Structure 1
Amino acid sequence: MVGWLIDAIKKDYQPPISKVKVGKFNDYVQREYDFDKLEKKLLGWE
Protein backbone atom coordinates (compact mmCIF):
# COMPACT_ATOMS: atom_id res chain seq x y z
CA MET A 1 0.00 0.00 0.00
CA VAL A 2 2.79 2.43 0.89
CA GLY A 3 4.63 1.65 -2.36
CA TRP A 4 1.51 2.34 -4.40
CA LEU A 5 0.96 5.64 -2.58
CA ILE A 6 4.52 6.80 -3.22
CA ASP A 7 4.25 5.80 -6.89
CA ALA A 8 0.92 7.62 -7.21
CA ILE A 9 2.42 10.82 -5.77
CA LYS A 10 5.45 10.66 -8.06
CA LYS A 11 3.35 10.06 -11.20
CA ASP A 12 0.67 12.66 -10.30
CA TYR A 13 -2.12 10.11 -9.92
CA GLN A 14 -5.56 11.20 -11.17
CA PRO A 15 -8.73 9.28 -10.28
CA PRO A 16 -10.37 7.50 -13.23
CA ILE A 17 -13.08 9.35 -15.11
CA SER A 18 -16.38 7.63 -14.49
CA LYS A 19 -18.83 6.92 -17.26
CA VAL A 20 -22.19 7.57 -15.65
CA LYS A 21 -25.22 7.52 -17.88
CA VAL A 22 -27.44 10.53 -17.38
CA GLY A 23 -31.10 9.72 -17.80
CA LYS A 24 -33.74 12.08 -19.06
CA PHE A 25 -36.24 11.21 -16.33
CA ASN A 26 -36.04 14.63 -14.65
CA ASP A 27 -35.44 16.61 -17.83
CA TYR A 28 -38.70 18.57 -18.04
CA VAL A 29 -40.05 21.98 -17.14
CA GLN A 30 -41.16 21.87 -13.55
CA ARG A 31 -44.27 23.57 -12.23
CA GLU A 32 -44.17 26.78 -10.26
CA TYR A 33 -46.40 26.88 -7.19
CA ASP A 34 -47.88 29.70 -5.16
CA PHE A 35 -47.14 28.20 -1.74
CA ASP A 36 -49.14 30.79 0.19
CA LYS A 37 -52.27 29.96 -1.82
CA LEU A 38 -51.69 26.21 -1.44
CA GLU A 39 -51.21 26.58 2.32
CA LYS A 40 -54.48 28.52 2.65
CA LYS A 41 -56.35 25.82 0.73
CA LEU A 42 -54.78 23.11 2.85
CA LEU A 43 -55.75 24.80 6.08
CA GLY A 44 -59.26 25.53 4.82
CA TRP A 45 -58.90 29.30 5.01
CA GLU A 46 -59.98 29.87 1.45
Structure 2
Amino acid sequence: TRLLKASITQNLGSIPNYTMRGRLLCRKGRVVIPKQSTLRDELIRHFSQ
Protein backbone atom coordinates (compact mmCIF):
# COMPACT_ATOMS: atom_id res chain seq x y z
CA THR A 1 0.00 0.00 0.00
CA ARG A 2 2.84 2.42 0.78
CA LEU A 3 4.43 1.89 -2.62
CA LEU A 4 1.10 2.38 -4.33
CA LYS A 5 0.52 5.66 -2.45
CA ALA A 6 4.02 6.88 -3.30
CA SER A 7 3.60 6.06 -6.98
CA ILE A 8 0.23 7.81 -7.22
CA THR A 9 1.46 10.87 -5.31
CA GLN A 10 4.56 11.27 -7.48
CA ASN A 11 2.85 10.65 -10.81
CA LEU A 12 -0.88 11.42 -10.75
CA GLY A 13 -2.82 9.12 -13.04
CA SER A 14 0.03 6.60 -13.20
CA ILE A 15 -2.14 3.77 -11.87
CA PRO A 16 -5.66 3.58 -13.33
CA ASN A 17 -8.63 3.76 -10.92
CA TYR A 18 -6.47 4.83 -7.94
CA THR A 19 -6.43 8.34 -6.47
CA MET A 20 -5.38 10.05 -3.26
CA ARG A 21 -7.85 12.09 -1.19
CA GLY A 22 -5.63 13.84 1.29
CA ARG A 23 -3.94 10.94 3.09
CA LEU A 24 -6.52 8.35 1.96
CA LEU A 25 -5.86 5.93 -0.89
CA CYS A 26 -8.99 5.36 -2.99
CA ARG A 27 -9.86 2.90 -5.74
CA LYS A 28 -12.78 3.86 -7.95
CA GLY A 29 -13.81 6.47 -5.36
CA ARG A 30 -13.79 4.09 -2.38
CA VAL A 31 -11.27 4.10 0.46
CA VAL A 32 -8.77 1.23 0.31
CA ILE A 33 -8.26 -0.62 3.61
CA PRO A 34 -5.32 -3.07 3.63
CA LYS A 35 -6.10 -6.72 4.45
CA GLN A 36 -3.74 -6.68 7.45
CA SER A 37 -5.42 -3.59 8.96
CA THR A 38 -7.17 -3.88 12.33
CA LEU A 39 -9.72 -1.38 11.01
CA ARG A 40 -10.80 -3.92 8.40
CA ASP A 41 -11.49 -6.51 11.11
CA GLU A 42 -13.40 -3.95 13.20
CA LEU A 43 -15.57 -2.94 10.24
CA ILE A 44 -16.38 -6.56 9.39
CA ARG A 45 -17.37 -7.29 13.00
CA HIS A 46 -19.46 -4.12 13.23
CA PHE A 47 -21.42 -4.66 10.02
CA SER A 48 -21.92 -8.42 10.41
CA GLN A 49 -23.84 -8.11 13.69
Same fold, judged at TM 0.5 (above): no
Q: Quick check: which one's strand share is greater?
A: 2
Scaled by the length of structure 1, what TM-score is found? 0.26
Q: Which structure ranks higher in relative contact order (CA pairs < 8 Å, sequence separation ≥ 6)?
A: 2
**Larger Rg computed on CA atoms:** 1
